């Protein structure tokens, strides 16, 4: 029967007997390190990161993000709290119960079985609608005290004028001053919201043809609505059918404007007011927009209101 090998003698044997467990752990560690080193030595190296990898990762991330707001959207968000609906008030009107910007419909004309009578009623309804729209316009708040810019032709001849703020607050206004040469008027609201936000006025110095602009107002009483375009020209001259006078030094723009936009602001993509929309050019008598609108530079409006020059 074979005999087990003799145990080591001497100091070495005594050391191994005392530290047998640690010795085996050390042997295992050496084996593990040898295996890892061998794998690292013979395994294929990782592919270096390229610019294409980085671009793909960035594109993947961007696809998961919501789209950034457009410049027109940013501009509208800035100016919207400063926009008001301006409306002529009749003896029966009150500054409450308005419908947030929609023109109140007149009573429909009675139908006439006679064709000529029907045409007459249709023409009468159109005339009434035109007259109703003449009493609707837009204004922009430019001071904490409730001062508002609008067009003179919007309020001309009105005994009473009311405005509706963005939060629904309604108020009668008084006329502070008028500028017939610019078809402008300054109003002061008798009641203002607690969180009133005046618009920021910006000089037209540096404004260039091709700069992006946004017109905000109540076209046909619908709004507030925004339309985007560019500055089409500067220092234009135009005879205003609405104001019945020749206007000079105007900003020409191609952002859509229609009846009801009068008195509203023309703003930069930062939401700063550079002009007050006053008129549109149309070769027909229909009064709708064909691509040419005009605004009074804000310097002219501010000087008439007693503001310091920009």
256-285 pLDDT, tens per residue?
Answer: 999 999 999 999 999 999 999 999 988 777
Catalytic entry in 82, 171, 183, 238: 183
CB contact set of 159 (below 8 Å; sequence gap of 6+): 89, 91
Query: Computed from CA positions of residues 300, 302, 308, 309, in that sequence, does the dihedral angle turn out positive or negative?
Result: negative
Give the per-residue pLDDT at 103. 37
Residue 213 has pLDDT above 50, yes or no: yes
Pairwise CA distance, residues 272 & 296, whole Å? 14
More confident residue, 115 or 215: 215
Residue 177 appears among annotated catalytic residues: no
Split at pLDDT 50, 70, 90, the class of 46 is: low
pTM of the shown model: 0.70
Residue 183 appears among annotated catalytic residues: yes
Phi-psi region of 72 (alpha: psi -120 to 50; beta: other; left: phi over 0): alpha
Give the per-residue pLDDT at 241. 76
Phi-psi region of 260 (alpha: psi -120 to 50; beta: other; left: phi over 0): left
Catalytic entry in 82, 153, 171, 232: 153
Give the per-residue pLDDT at 6. 56
Split at pLDDT 50, 70, 90, the class of 37 is: low
Average pLDDT over residues 147-174: 95
More confident residue, 103 or 160: 160
Average pLDDT over residues 123-148: 78
Average pLDDT over residues 288-310: 84
Which domains does the chain carry?
72-189 (2.40.10.10), 212-304 (2.40.10.10)
CA end-to-end distance (rounded Å), the chain: 115
Residue 245 has pLDDT above 90, yes or no: no
Split at pLDDT 50, 70, 90, the class of 111 is: very low
Give the per-residue pLDDT at 190. 96
Residue 169 has pLDDT above 80, yes or no: yes
Pairwise CA distance, residues 238 & 137, whole Å? 20
* Highest-confidence segment of 50-64, 204-218, 238-252: 204-218
Residue 153 appears among annotated catalytic residues: yes
Average pLDDT over residues 207-222: 96
The residue with tokens 């308005």 is 98
Catalytic entry in 82, 227, 262, 279: 262
The angle formed by the CA atoms of residues 167, 105 and 146, to the nearest 5 degrees, is: 30
Average pLDDT over residues 231-239: 95
């Amino acid at each position: 029967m074979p005999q087990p090998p003799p145990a080591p003698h001497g100091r070495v044997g005594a050391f191994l007997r005392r530290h047998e467990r640690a010795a085996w752990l050390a042997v295992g560690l050496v084996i593990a390190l040898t295996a890892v080193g061998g794998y690292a030595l013979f395994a294929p190296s990782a592919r270096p990161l390229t610019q294409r990898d980085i671009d793909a990762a960035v594109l993947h991330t961007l696809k998961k993000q919501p789209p950034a707001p457009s410049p027109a959207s940013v501009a509208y968000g800035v100016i919207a709290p400063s926009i008001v609906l301006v409306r002529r008030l009749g003896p029966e009107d009150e500054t409450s119960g308005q419908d947030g910007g929609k023109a109140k419909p007149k009573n429909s004309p009675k139908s006439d079985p006679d064709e000529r009578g029907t045409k007459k009623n249709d023409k009468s309804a159109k005339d009434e609608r035109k007259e109703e729209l003449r009493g609707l316009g837009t204004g922009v708040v430019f001071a904490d005290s409730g001062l508002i810019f609008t067009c003179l032709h919007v309020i001309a001849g009105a005994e009473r004028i009311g405005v509706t703020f963005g939060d629904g607050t309604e108020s009668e206004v008084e006329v502070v001053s008028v500028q017939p040469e610019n078809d402008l008027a300054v109003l002061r609201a008798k009641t203002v919201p607690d969180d009133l936000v005046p618009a920021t006025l910006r000089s037209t110095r540096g404004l260039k043809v091709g700069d992006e602009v946004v017109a905000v107002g109540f076209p046909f009483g619908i709004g507030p609505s925004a339309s985007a375009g560019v500055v089409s020209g500067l220092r234009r001259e135009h005879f205003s059918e609405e104001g019945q006078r020749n206007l000079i030094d105007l900003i020409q723009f191609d952002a859509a404007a229609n009846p009801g936009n009068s008195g509203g602001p023309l703003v930069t993509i930062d939401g700063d007011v550079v002009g007050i929309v006053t008129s549109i050019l149309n070769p027909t008598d229909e009064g709708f927009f064909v691509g040419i609108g005009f605004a009074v530079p804000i310097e002219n409006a501010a000087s008439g209101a007693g503001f310091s020059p920009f």
